[in-house]
Structure 1
Amino acid sequence: MFRSFALLLTVSSALILVTEVHGSCFFSPAQMTQICSKDMVTCEYAGIKFLEGAMFNTSDCISCNCDSVGLSCCGFGSNSEVSSEYRVVQYGCEFKIEKT
């Protein structure tokens, strides 16, 4: 009985931690750029232009997607946000959340 309760408590705690993570996102509008005499939709990130349809992850744990509207980027892994009652322990883009 005690083991079942302990397991339930552990799973519940893990689910609570997961719901405390919020993505950190930003957006920039697409631009029309002439490439080889053709107008192409591009998105710019860190001074680099990407064609529509490009998807990439940066070394600082940001995932980006360029579409016809613009560039949408969100932090992942350790670059996500957590509520103030928790802290993030980082291992590259992987992380562990601990209660403070």
Structure 2
Amino acid sequence: AWMVLLDSSELGLINRVLLAVGLVDAPLQLLYNQGAVLVGMVFSYLPFMVLPLYANLVKLDTRLLKAAADLGARPWTTFLHVTLPLSRRGIVAGSM
């Protein structure tokens, strides 16, 4: 599927859109380079990060988030001081 999207000829979906919009004059070399390898590796390894993190976040007690909000913490502060420390094991497991 990524090869269909990133094809370097005018058949590639991304190149077709870029040419139709007029952002480029000639098709770009989007396949068989470091960017394509990076996209493929992120696509293939992302589930190995998401699944342990999800399993850890499901067990998170939502009362802690409500308590932080009741005490006046903004969402970003709640994430940094409550959710992130409690999800550290899932982050470590997914990173391994």
Q: TM-score, normalised by structure 1?
A: 0.31
**TM superposition score normalised by structure 2:** 0.32
Higher strand share: 1
The structure whose residues are more often helix, as a share, is: 2
